[in-house]
Amino acid sequence: MSRQLGTDLLSQQKRLFRLWAKVRDGTLSFENFQAAVLPLRERLKKLLQQGADSQIAHREKTPLAHTVRTCRQLLKVEPALWLFVAIEGLEPTNNAAERAIRPAVLWRKNSFGSQSEEGSVFVSRMLTVITSLRSQNRNILEFMTDAVRANRKGTTPPSLLPQ
């Protein structure tokens, strides 16, 4: 049952992302995408419900039990899985977030992290500043210079909010 359910769910996922690719390349309007997704969403929810309804023992550790528990967890957050269909411009994946944190991950890997609480706080703040400024195509050195000047003069520092 687990294998067939997984195959059926993957089939729905592939259809969904084929539609999404058409939205991204401009060959399908967002409104038509929303309409086309409705039957996929219903089918996916039905499949998840089918998996969640399977009977398993309380502490069962079989592949079926894992599938059943996963289906139950997904059903709990099912509406959130479809936000990208309701909100135009919202991506269905976390690729942008992963790209944003990649420099921090590489820094930690190459430098072995920081050696104190203060160092950790400093690094987290600097990486936040750098990531925010890069996402806004703003000059990091210019921002940092302005921030230091403002601190020395006791004036309001520059904002990280988009301008």
Q: Are 67 and 110 part of one and the same domain?
A: no
For 14-24, the pLDDT digits (tens) are 999 999 999 99
Same domain, 74 and 103: no
Give pTM, 2 decimals: 0.64
pLDDT at 115 (0 to 100) = 81
Assigned token pair, 126: 């600097």
- pLDDT, tens digit (0-9, with 9 covering 90-100), for 32-66: 999 999 999 999 999 999 999 999 998 999 998 99
- Confidence check: pLDDT of 114 > 80: no
Torsion of CA 59, 62, 66, 71, to 10 degrees: -100
Residues 80 and 107 in one domain: no
DSSP 65-91: HHHHHHHHHHHHTHHHHTHHHHSTT--
Please give the residue range of the domain that contains residue 70.
2-86
Check whether residue 30 and residue 81 sit in a common domain. Answer: yes
Whether the per-residue pLDDT at 81 is higher than 80: the answer is yes
